[in-house]
Structure formats: structure tokens, C-alpha cells
Amino acid sequence: MNPSMEMKKYQKIVLTGGPGSGKTTVLNTLGEMGYTIFPELSRQWIQLAQQSGTSHYFDEKPLEFSAALLEGRIQQYQQAEQASSDLLFLDRGIPDVFAYLDHRGQPHEFPKEFLQKYRYDHVFFFPPWKDIYTADAERLETFEKAQAIGKHLDDFYTLLGYHPVHIPEGSVLERCNFILKHLTHG
């Protein structure tokens, strides 16, 4: 096969971490820089549930919420498989769904084969950062709870065989540049 005719390998890159750690701001900035991004779906589901009278969707209906979120994240993964950009950034990955359930002690089947099927190329972890953390209508956790969730996510990705790269504190642009430099220089 002619090398120029080979299928190009696109990199699916997950940004994960506890609530309020700066993931979405960095993701949106990467989008403004021209990279392909896939936004966080949780806020969208939470807002829809709040409009129909469910104030704490994950707390009140964790399995229903997680099933909807899982379906959306699988769709994002499949869209990323079809995308034509070199770098594809996703605000959270499929493992986040199971990590959140696990963190909450919610019984679920741990589908290791399923999670092996949907693998990401890189995982960047955003540690909790008190100076930027804010609660809002969709983010109801305290900073301490956000820290615990963040640690669980980091441990969960590690359990799945990933090596999450921790993002240092810094300006949004510094954090974006850290990610991009890591991707180009390892």
C-alpha cells in the first residue's frame, strides 16, 4: 500500500478530573485554537432534568443518569472515530461514568472488556485546584467532595491501564500548551 494512502490514526484525548478543576475551560480554549472538541455531557443532562423537576439527577436516579451519559459518551467516541482531525479532545471519557458510580458505591457491573474496546490514546488529569473551584447550579459538590472524586477518577483510569498525565496549575493558555507540548514531545 502506498504510504500516502494509509489510513491516518487520530488521537482521542480525554480530559478528566474532579468537578471544577478547569477541564472545560481548557477544552473550550483548545476548541478556539482550532482543535476538534467533544463537550461534557453531564451538564446538559442535569439541566434537562432540572427543567423537568429533578434537582439532583445523579443523586436521585444514578443508574438512569449514568445510562444516558454512557450512551452519549459512546456516541462521542464513535464520532471521534470518524473525525478528520489529528487531535480530538473529549471532556471526560467513558470510564468516568463507571468511576462516578463506583465512587458513590452504586452497584454496577464493571465491564472491563467493554472499557478495553473503547480505549483512548491519552488521558490528562486535572487535579483539584481550590483557587478556581466554584459550585453552581449543576456542580453541587463541595471542594472536598470534588477532591475525593478527582482522586477516584485518577485511580480508576490507572486501574484500567492508563497513565494519566497530571496538568499543573497555571493560566488556561499555559495548561493548553502543557497538553500540546506533551502530545508532540511525549
User: How sure is the predictor about 105, in pLDDT bands with cuts at 50, 70 and 90?
Assistant: confident
Write out the three cell numbers for 150.
478527582
What is the rounded distance in angstroms from the CA atom of residue 30 to the CA atom of residue 169?
17
Q: Decide if pLDDT at 73 tops 60.
A: yes
20: exposed, middle or buried (Cβ count in 10 Å: 0-12, 13-18, 19+): buried
Instruction: Give the pLDDT score at 6.
Output: 38
Q: What is the DSSP letter of 174?
A: H
pLDDT single digits (tens) 14-42: 999 988 899 999 999 999 999 999 988 76
Compute CA 46 distance to the chain's CA centroid, rounded to the nearest angstrom.
16
The residue ranges of every structural domain in the chain are: 22-185
pLDDT(56) > 60 = no
What is the amino acid identity at position 4?
S
Q: Which of 22-31, 43-52, 107-116 has the highest mean pLDDT?
A: 22-31
Mean pLDDT for 131-149 is: 76
- Tell me which fold the domain 22-185 belongs to: Rossmann fold (3.40.50)
In what order do the strands lie in the sheet containing 122-126?
36-38, 87-91, 11-17, 122-126, 165-166
